[in-house]
């Protein structure tokens, strides 16, 4: 997981629908319509999942990117521990 790649997806102002479509394309081994950074399909999917979670969190809690990113990374750390 690379934070700059996630931030780039958020700052590009892609909609959740666009991120969903990119996810489906990667799962189906197709080229997504949007640029998703990552060394392989797994890393690209990780960046998409994170961007979607962060966008939804920003909307639900009316917080900024940094607050949602912190919440996401904490969630990831807790799941690994």
Could you read off the pLDDT tens digit of each residue along the chain, which spans 81 residues? Answer: 999 999 999 999 999 999 999 999 999 999 999 999 999 999 999 999 999 999 999 999 999 999 999 999 999 999 998
Domain residue ranges in the chain: 3-80
Residue 81: per-residue pLDDT = 83
Predicted structure pTM score: 0.92
Residue the block writes with tokens 């797994």: 42
């Amino acid at each position: 997981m690379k934070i700059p790649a996630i931030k780039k997806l958020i700052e590009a102002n892609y909609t959740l629908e666009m991120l969903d479509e990119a996810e489906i394309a990667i799962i189906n081994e197709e080229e997504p319509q949007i640029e998703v950074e990552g060394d392989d399909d797994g890393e690209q999917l990780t960046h998409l999942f994170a961007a979607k979670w962060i966008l939804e969190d920003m909307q639900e809690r009316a917080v900024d990117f940094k607050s949602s990113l912190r919440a996401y990374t904490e969630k990831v750390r807790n799941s690994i521990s």
